[in-house]
């Protein structure tokens, strides 16, 4: 938990010193660690601060629609019709992976193997024990306890939940028909935690638990994680090359606002639960200068933030996608119709 708290302290310090010229944003907890690191470096380099509220994707979408922040952040991309209706421009910043974090005595990180179907059955309440025959069959030589599984889920509107349930909907017909994919769903079993931070804390505290978190949170909190069977039948480790492999064949312009899914992609090394995270700004903002500063910040991140992202196990966007995003920013204009970036 220490590193998350350090990042939170950095963010709090940035927020506390925010002046009129500082950038305001709110939303997804998934990218909070990297946005905090970028903000710290950007403040030192430019003097411009960032006040970013890590409140979940649902909250970020609500705040940008209410025009209370310069940008909203979401892991669940809005569809083209919603972007048009609300006058928003959407673009990705980085990619990362969602992992099943587990707290099982004696199980080291990466030693437990699960499939998407098994994870779905755990969260449906159909698989109740860690030594269920279906789990044992995937884990020869691993001693699994005769203990009840304690699932942990996000209690807030969450893009991480969307990514996780979108993945489960792709690999389990039963999950798709009964629960589906959304930022908030009706969980049949388990306990809730707020934010990636809350789920990480609950998994750490509750024995025999399983939760889903962005990989940086699992790593920084020293949580054990399970490997997940990918579309090619392999069990890759969640790491930068596996997240890159998931995006290798992505067509970013396939959906409006770059809103593609990277879940369950083909590829021997592809991590099966991979996502980009997205920013939302108004196409015609009431305060063009503030949104201009936000775009300058993300342009700086594209140019100078890749190393920081890699250090936190996020994956930078390909250079050609960054250029496509900059071209999309020309759709953000002032009241005269002039692009602000």
Q: What is the DSSP string of 81-108?
A: HHHHHHTEEEEEEEEEEEEEEEE-TT--
Eight-class DSSP state of 332: -
What pLDDT, on the 0 to 100 scale, is given for residue 249? 80
Q: Which residues contact 173 (CB under 8 A, 6 or more apart)?
A: none
User: Look-up: residue for tokens 């992992």?
Assistant: 99
Distance of CA 279 to the CA centre of its chain: 12
What pLDDT, on the 0 to 100 scale, is given for residue 31? 95
H helix intervals, the chain: 2-16, 32-46, 57-65, 80-86, 116-124, 133-138, 159-171, 173-178, 195-205, 215-220, 240-247, 288-304, 306-311, 319-328
What pLDDT, on the 0 to 100 scale, is given for residue 2? 33
Q: Tell me the pLDDT tens digit for each residue of 101-126.
A: 999 999 999 999 999 999 999 999 99
Query: 223's torsion region: left (phi>0), alpha (psi -120 to 50) or beta?
Result: beta
Mean pLDDT of 319-340: 95
Q: Cα Rg for the chain, rounded, in angstroms? A: 20
Give dist(CA 293, CA 288) in Å, integer. 9
Q: Are 115 and 228 contacting, i.e. CB atoms less than 8 angstroms apart? A: yes
What pLDDT, on the 0 to 100 scale, is given for residue 17? 42
Provide the whole-model pTM: 0.86
């Amino acid at each position: 938990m220490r590193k998350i708290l350090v990042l939170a302290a950095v963010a709090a310090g940035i927020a506390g010193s925010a002046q009129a010229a500082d950038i305001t944003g709110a939303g997804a907890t998934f990218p909070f660690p990297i946005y905090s690191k970028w903000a710290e470096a950007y403040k030192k380099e430019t003097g411009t601060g960032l006040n970013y509220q890590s409140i979940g994707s649902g909250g970020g979408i609500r705040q940008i629609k209410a025009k209370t922040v310069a940008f909203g952040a979401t892991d669940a991309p809005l569809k083209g019709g919603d972007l048009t209706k609300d006058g928003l421009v959407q673009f990705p910043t980085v990619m990362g992976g969602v992992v099943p974090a587990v707290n099982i005595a004696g199980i080291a990180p990466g030693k437990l193997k699960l499939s998407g179907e098994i994870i779905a059955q755990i969260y449906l309440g159909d698989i109740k024990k860690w030594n269920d025959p279906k789990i044992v069959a995937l884990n020869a030589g691993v001693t699994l306890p005769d203990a009840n599984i304690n699932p942990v889920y996000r209690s807030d509107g969450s893009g991480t939940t969307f990514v996780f349930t979108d993945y489960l909907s792709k690999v389990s017909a039963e999950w798709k028909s009964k629960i589906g994919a959304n930022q908030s769903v009706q969980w049949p079993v388990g306990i809730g935690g707020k934010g990636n931070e809350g789920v990480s804390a609950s998994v750490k505290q509750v024995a025999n638990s399983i939760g889903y978190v962005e990989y940086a949170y699992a790593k920084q909190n020293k949580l054990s994680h399970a490997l997940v069977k990918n579309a090619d039948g392999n069990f890759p480790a969640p790491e930068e090359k596996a997240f890159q492999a998931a995006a290798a064949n992505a067509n970013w312009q396939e959906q409006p606002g770059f809103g593609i899914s990277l879940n369950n992609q083909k590829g021997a090394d592809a991590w099966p639960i991979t996502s980009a995270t997205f920013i939302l700004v108004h196409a015609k903002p009431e305060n063009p200068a503030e949104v201009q500063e936000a775009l300058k910040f993300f342009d700086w991140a594209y140019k100078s933030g890749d190393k920081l992202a890699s250090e936190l196990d996020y994956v930078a966007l390909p250079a050609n996608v960054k250029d496509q995003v900059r071209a999309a920013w020309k759709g953000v204009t002032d009241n005269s119709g002039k692009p602000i970036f």
